[in-house]
Chain A
Amino acid sequence: MARTTPAKKALRSLAWLGVIVVALIGLNVYNYFVAVVPAHTVRVATFAPKLGLDLAGGTEIILQPELASNQQVSDAQLNQAVAIIRERIDAAGVAEPAISTQGTGSGETVVVQIPGALDKQTVSRITKAAQLSFRPVLVTDAASSSTVGSSATPTPGATPTPTPSLNAIPTSKPTNASDLAYVTPALQAQYNSFNCKSAAAANANLAPKAKPLVTCDSTGTQKFILGPVELDGTTITNATAAAITSSTGASTGGWGVDITFNSASGTKFENISTRLLPLASPRNEFAIVLDGQVITYPQVQGVTNAPQITGNFTQDSASTLADQLKFGALPISFKILTSNNVSATLGTASLFGGILAGLIGLLLVVLYSLFQYRLLGLVTIASLAGSAVITYLLITYLSWQEDYRLSLAGVAGLIVAIGITADSFIVYFERIRDELRDGRGLESAVEAGWKRALRTIIASDTVNFLAAAILFLLAVGDVKGFALTLGLTTIVDVVIVSLFTHPILQLIARRPFFYEGHRLSGLDPNALGAVYRGRAQFRAPVAVGAKNAGSSREAQRRQTIAERKAAEAEANRNKGKDS
Chain B
Amino acid sequence: MASFSKFGNDLYTGARSFDIVGKRRIWFSIAGVLVLICILVPVFRGFNFGIEFRGGSQFTVSNVAANPSQSLATKTVEKLVPGQVPTVAIVNGVNTTSVQVTTSQLNTSKTADVQLALANAYNVPQSRVAATFIGATWGQDITQQAIRALIAFIILAVIIMALYFRTWKMSVAAIIALFHDLIIVAGVYAILGFEVTPDAVIGFLTILGYSLYDTVVVFDKIRENTNEDGERSVRTFSESVNLAVNQTLVRSINTSVVALLPVAAILFIGATLLGAGTLRDISLALFVGILSGTYSTIFVAAPLYALMREREPNIQKRTKRTTIARTTSGAVR
Contacts and interface: CB of A to CB of B under 8 A. Distances in A.
Interface string A343-358: 1111101100110111
Contacts of A474: 145, 148-149, 152
Interface in B127-184: 132-142, 145-146, 148-149, 152-153, 156-157, 160-161, 164
Main secondary structure of the interface of A (DSSP, over half): helix
Contacts, number: 307
Contacts of A482: 202, 205-206
A409 interface: yes
A452 interface: yes
Interface residues of A, number: 98
Residue among A100, A433, A471 having the largest count of chain B Cβ atoms under 10 Å: A100
Interface in A72-99: 79, 82-83, 86, 98-99
A568 to B, nearest CB: 14
Interface in B95-148: 100, 132-142, 145-146, 148
Interface stretch (B30-38, B40-48, B282-290, B302-310): B282-290
Contact of A83 (B139, B260, B278): B139
Contacts of A54: 278
Contacts of A475: 142, 145-146, 149
Interface stretch (B3-11, B21-29, B312-320): B3-11
A100 B135 contact: yes
B104 to A, nearest CB: 14
Given A464-B213, A466-B153, A344 B89 contact: yes
A104 interface: yes
Contact of B255 (A426, A477, A555): A426
A313 B281 CA distance: 46
Contacts of B15: 542, 544, 548, 555
Interface of B: 1-2, 4-6, 8-10, 12-16, 55, 58, 70-71, 87-93, 100, 132-142, 145-146, 148-149, 152-153, 156-157, 160-161, 164, 198-199, 201-203, 205-206, 208-210, 212-214, 216-217, 220-221, 224, 234-235, 239, 243, 247-248, 250-251, 254-255, 257-266, 268-270, 273-274, 277-279, 282-283, 286, 290, 326, 329-330, 333
What are the nearest 6 A-B pairs in CB distance?
Answer: A419-B259, A361-B262, A529-B9, A474-B149, A101-B135, A361-B265
Interface of A: 54, 57, 60, 79, 82-83, 86, 98-104, 111, 338, 340-347, 349-350, 353-354, 356-358, 360-362, 364-365, 368-369, 371-372, 374, 408-409, 412-413, 415-416, 418-420, 422-423, 426-427, 430, 433-434, 437, 452, 455-456, 459-464, 466-468, 470-471, 473-479, 482, 486, 524, 527-530, 542, 544, 548, 553-555, 557-560, 562-563
28 contacts: A79-B139, A86-B142, A100-B135, A340-B93, A342-B100, A361-B263, A368-B258, A409-B198, A412-B203, A419-B262, A419-B263, A423-B217, A423-B255, A426-B251, A426-B258, A430-B248, A433-B8, A452-B224, A462-B160, A474-B145, A476-B142, A482-B205, A527-B1, A528-B8, A529-B10, A557-B234, A559-B234, A560-B12
Given A357-B262, A357-B266, 11 more contacts: A82-B139, A102-B58, A103-B133, A353-B270, A364-B264, A365-B258, A423-B255, A460-B216, A468-B209, A471-B153, A542-B9
